[in-house]
């Protein structure tokens, strides 16, 4: 019997890259244009980091963090006024602290633990729904959705990324320090790029795009052009 006839390529665009490159912004625009769903996988790692801190588990305690990841009681609620999806951990809404730099650092520390990553794998794959999914993270194209027909690796210089994060936080009224943000971004880059499991690297066949000197619209245009080659029926025109 020939099974290949049953293999259907999923409608998935993966968007991987370092912090502040513009992945979340690009993913929202793509999902909006296509009417697709979004997976912000970083939120799962952020919630796991926050959960470890909440339960006084050391962020490098492999056994306990992995156990926490396997039983993570997490939910997502749509905030009707902001239209943002907010993570809820064990009944506590984490909207106020999930995007903080501390949560990002905690996330990248627990994200080093292979068994914790393994525990979150299926949860991430379950986000796939028709008509399609835009998946934002570090290993979307390499590990979580290796069969995705379109893979994007979005990057930018650390300085540009820190500037963007600074402006983003200031706009939200959050106090921020440029030097500290740059140091934090560099530390997270280093940890994400050098970990032995699912390091931050471009997937084979990924479209690598440096957004340092590009506007958001220019990034979107280039990504749509690239995607149209693999998904002409969805994106041509």
Ligand X SMILES: Nc1ncnc2c1ncn2[C@@H]1O[C@H](COP(=O)(O)OP(=O)(O)O)[C@@H](O)[C@H]1O
Ligand Y SMILES: Nc1ccn([C@@H]2O[C@H](COP(=O)(O)OP(=O)(O)O)[C@@H](O)[C@H]2O)c(=O)n1
Residues that bind ligand Y (CB under 6 A): 19, 24, 41-42, 45-46, 104, 107-108, 111, 137-139, 188, 192
CA 44 to chain centre: 9
- What is the CA angle 107-13-209, rounded to 5? 80
Which one of ligand X, ligand Y, none interacts with residue 25, CB within 5 to 8 A by kind?
ligand X
Which one of ligand X, ligand Y, none interacts with residue 168, CB within 5 to 8 A by kind?
ligand X
Closest to 186 in 3D by CA, of 206, 171, 165, 211: 165
Task: Please tell me the distance from the alpha carbon of residue 122 to that of residue 1, in angstroms, as a whole number.
Answer: 29
**Which position among 69, 219, 223, 235 is part of the footprint of ligand X (CB under 6 A)?**
219
Is residue 104 at the binding interface for ligand X, with CB under 6 A as the rule? no
Q: Residue 210: count other Cβ atoms within 10 Å of its Cβ.
A: 15
Give 132 or 137: the residue with its C-beta nearer to ligand Y. Answer: 137
Least spacing, CB of residue 42 vs ligand Y, in Å: 2
Residues paired with 152 in a beta bridge: 15, 207
Is residue 11 at the binding interface for ligand X, with CB under 6 A as the rule? no
Give 46 or 66: the residue with its C-beta nearer to ligand X. Answer: 46
Which one of ligand X, ligand Y, none interacts with residue 151, CB within 5 to 8 A by kind?
none
* Phi-psi domain of 148 (left: phi exceeds 0; alpha: psi -120 through 50; beta: other): beta
Is residue 141 at the binding interface for ligand X, with CB under 6 A as the rule? no
Q: Annotated binding site, which residues? A: 17-25
Q: Between residue 147 and residue 166, which ones bind ligand X under the rule CB under 6 A?
A: 164
Least spacing, CB of residue 185 vs ligand Y, in Å: 8
Please give the residue whose beta carbon sits closest to ligand X in the complex: 22
Buried residues in 15-51 as b, exposed as e (16+ CB within 10 A): bbbbbbbbbbbbbebbbeebebbbbbbbbbbbbbbbb
Closest to 162 in 3D by CA, of 140, 144, 184, 131: 184
Give 60 or 102: the residue with its C-beta nearer to ligand X. Answer: 102
Which one of ligand X, ligand Y, none interacts with residue 215, CB within 5 to 8 A by kind?
ligand X
Q: Which stretch binds ligand X (CB under 6 A): 23-31, 76-84, 87-95, 199-207?
A: 23-31
Q: What are phi and psi of 134, to 5 degrees?
A: -105, 120
End-to-end CA distance of the chain: 38
Q: Give the binding site for ligand X (CB under 6 A).
A: 17, 19-25, 164, 168, 211, 214-216, 219
């Amino acid at each position: 019997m020939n099974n290949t006839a049953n293999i259907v390529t999923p409608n998935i665009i993966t968007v991987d890259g370092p912090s502040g490159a513009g992945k979340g912004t690009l993913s929202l625009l793509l999902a909006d244009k296509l009417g697709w769903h979004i997976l912000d996988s970083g939120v799962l790692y952020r919630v796991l980091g926050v959960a470890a801190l909440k339960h006084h588990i050391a962020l490098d305690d492999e056994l306990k963090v992995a156990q926490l990841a396997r039983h993570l009681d997490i939910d997502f609620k749509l905030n009707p006024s902001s239209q943002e999806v907010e993570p809820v951990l064990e009944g506590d809404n984490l909207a106020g602290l999930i995007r903080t730099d501390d949560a990002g650092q905690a996330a990248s520390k627990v994200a080093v633990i292979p068994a914790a990553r393994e525990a979150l794998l299926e949860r991430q794959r379950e986000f796939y729904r028709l008509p399609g999914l835009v998946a934002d993270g570090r290993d979307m194209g390499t590990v979580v959705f290796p069969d995705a027909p379109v893979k994007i690796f979005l990057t930018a210089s650390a300085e540009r990324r820190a500037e963007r994060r600074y402006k983003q936080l200031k706009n939200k009224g959050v106090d921020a320090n440029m030097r500290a943000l740059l140091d934090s971004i560099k530390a997270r880059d280093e940890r994400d790029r050098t970990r032995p499991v699912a390091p931050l690297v471009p997937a084979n066949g990924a479209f690598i795009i440096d957004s340092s000197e590009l506007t958001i619209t220019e990034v979107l245009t280039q990504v749509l052009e690239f995607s149209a080659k693999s998904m002409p029926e969805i994106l041509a025109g």
